[in-house]
Structure 1
Amino acid sequence: MNVKDLLNLKGKVILVSGGAGSYGKSIVEGLGEAGGTVIIASRDLKNAEAVAQAFRDKGLDVHALQVDQGVHESVLLLKKEILESFGKLDVFVNNAVARPMKGYDDPIENFAESMRINATGMMDILREMCHIMGNNGGGSVINISSMMGMKGPDLSNYEETDMGTPPPDYFFHNGGLINLTRYLTKVLAPKNIRVNCVSPGGLFNNQPARFLENYNKKVPAGRLANNDDIKGLMVLLASDAGAYINGENILMDGGLNA
């Protein structure tokens, strides 16, 4: 098959949780540009719909639905709405994350809240979306983790900034998601669902100049990721071109951890 056909997502229904966020918008745009029908799922439906409309104005087939990943009934409602409006689900990009912790010394209740959404809630939405895909003959799950799930923090990046110490829950749940990817790869194989993980490095978001200087000098590519860097990888993993890529965690960090 021609590689352009292998990478074409026309006819595929794709859910991106957290699709109105920083990396989420880039993911949605890339999958839409490849021809997919993309659904943004977010707690803030008004904002998600505004993002979806902006993409529709560019000619992309993008829609918005509401979900609170930490509430089981909300996840079930999302499942019902996907089936009623689109009839199937081919790809789930598991990208939503809450950030209740701001640093190491935050109250332990904030860690518990993070686990409610980023661990228990994440497993809940994964199972429910995979149930749709399994009944439809299979599909692709793409978990979005972080390079921070693979290593400890490089605190020198934060020297002479007021950014503080990175929160521990972020490292905890991203590390767990990488190994959950391997688990789901084996468990979901009989349903013809392949599961992969992407662990990006930092995304440029107008961080303080000192942080950028500290960080960029360590990266062979010389910079943080931009909004286009993740697009091609997402299309590959969502499409038939990635049909034999399964159970992988792909580090996308410009060579920082080479």
Structure 2
Amino acid sequence: MSENYFEKFSLKGKKAIVTGGAGILGRHFCKGLADAGADVAVVDINIEEAKKIAEVLAEETNNKVKAFYCDLTDEKSVEQMVKDVIEEFGEINILHNNAAGKSSDLNAFFEKFEEYSLEQWKEIMSTNLDGMFLVAKYVGKQMKKQAKGGSIIQTSSIYGVLGPDNRIYEGSYYLDRQINTPAIYSASKAGVVGLTKYLATYWAKDGIRVNAITPGGVESGQNETFKRNYGNRIPLGRMAKADEMVGALIYLASDASSYVTGHNIRIDGGLSAW
């Protein structure tokens, strides 16, 4: 048996895009792909932060890691970003369609469903789902031209596949603000799973695999009440750490998952097993 199965997880020589690469999870995803050997395009609307992350990762890994600006709500911006990445890297083998929107008005974002505004709904949907469609459209077109396939991984959320338990939000704060999970977040993240399954069958003939990862709750500034309430709902008894999302991404990006497409890996500490 001469085959080395561990080498199937290597991304050496691969060229990857991570949207939302400067975010809380995005920076870990960029590091994971670079650590596995890929050259990485750190794509974000916050270009200054993306540049900082790219500089650090390039030095740590000796891979090509570059920052690229993109406004995912603007089709021209998405198209230009993909052109810029191709010009820099030559091709695209991996896309992590990861970015999610931040509201310009948190009062509107956390409003009760009965009072929710259509404007706020559209604002979040334009990034969480419309932007994912646009990036997949232009990267998928490029992968087809390369005639050797590729791997697309899209980030959903546990609340895209399960309804939230609103009891956990009693006395719960995130960065000193009382929070909930608005319906737009669940609806947009459910749409990510649907888009993933559609594209998996649509591009299968072209050798392009499309999968999703679904993180459960990740520690990122919530108060102790929320962490305790959330942890009590989880078989493993706690929230996730950001770096615990990365292993599934490397697996889906690599040849180790060469016969996996249309799948959604739930990284949720067992929440969906109850």
- Structure 1: how far apart are the matches of 2:179 and 2:92? 40
Deviations 1:196-231 (A, max 9, x none): 011110111131110111111221222111132112
Deviations 1:5-55 (A, max 9, x none): 101100000000001101111111111111111111111111100111122
- Structure 2: how far apart are the matches of 1:45 and 1:149? 28
In the alignment, what sits opposite 1:103?
111
- Structure 1: how far apart are the matches of 2:250 and 2:169? 33
Amino acid of the residue matched to residue 160 of structure 1?
G
- Structure 1: how far apart are the matches of 2:45 and 2:11? 26
Following superposition, the deviation at residue 119 of structure 1 comes to: 2.3
1:212 aligns with 2:220: no
Count of aligned pairs between the two proteins: 258
Asked if structure 2 preserves the Cα contact closer than 8 Å seen for 1:149 and 1:171, the reply is: yes
Q: 1:143 aligns with which of 149, 154, 157?
A: 154
In the alignment, what sits opposite 2:14?
12
Unaligned stretches of 5+ residues in structure 2: 104-108
In the alignment, what sits opposite 1:190?
205
In the alignment, what sits opposite 1:121?
131
Asked if structure 1 preserves the Cα contact closer than 8 Å seen for 2:152 and 2:210, the reply is: yes
Q: Describe the SS at the equivalent of 2:272.
A: coil
- Structure 2: how far apart are the matches of 1:195 and 1:123? 13
1:232 aligns with 2:242: no
Amino acid of the residue matched to residue 125 of structure 1?
V
- Structure 1: how far apart are the matches of 2:159 and 2:257? 25
- Structure 2: how far apart are the matches of 1:173 and 1:94? 14
Q: Quick one: structure 1 residues 213 and 172, their matched pair in 2 at CA, closer, same or farther if it must change by over 3 Å?
A: same
Counterparts of residues 1-258 of structure 1 (less than 5 Å): 1-61=3-63, 62-100=65-103, 101-104=109-112, 105-136=115-146, 137-162=148-173, 163-258=178-273
Asked if structure 2 preserves the Cα contact closer than 8 Å seen for 1:220 and 1:254, the reply is: yes
Deviations 1:101-160 (A, max 9, x none): 233334321111222222222211111011111111210000100010011111111112
Amino acid of the residue matched to residue 124 of structure 1?
L
Asked if structure 1 preserves the Cα contact closer than 8 Å seen for 2:28 and 2:243, the reply is: yes
- Structure 2: how far apart are the matches of 1:40 and 1:174? 22
- Scaled by the length of structure 2, what TM-score is found? 0.90
- Structure 2: how far apart are the matches of 1:147 and 1:201? 5
- Structure 2: how far apart are the matches of 1:97 and 1:174? 9
- Scaled by the length of structure 1, what TM-score is found? 0.96
Asked if structure 1 preserves the Cα contact closer than 8 Å seen for 2:16 and 2:41, the reply is: yes
What is the root-mean-square deviation in Å for CA atoms of aligned residues? Answer: 1.3
Following superposition, the deviation at residue 73 of structure 1 comes to: 0.7
Amino acid of the residue matched to residue 221 of structure 1?
L
Amino acid of the residue matched to residue 130 of structure 1?
G
Amino acid of the residue matched to residue 102 of structure 1?
F
Amino acid of the residue matched to residue 96 of structure 1?
A
- Structure 2: how far apart are the matches of 1:185 and 1:228? 26
- Structure 2: how far apart are the matches of 1:140 and 1:103? 37
Amino acid of the residue matched to residue 132 of structure 2?
M
Asked if structure 1 preserves the Cα contact closer than 8 Å seen for 2:248 and 2:265, the reply is: no
Instruction: Write out the 4+ residue segments of structure 1 that deviate beyond 4 Å after TM superposition.
Output: none
Percent identical residues = 34
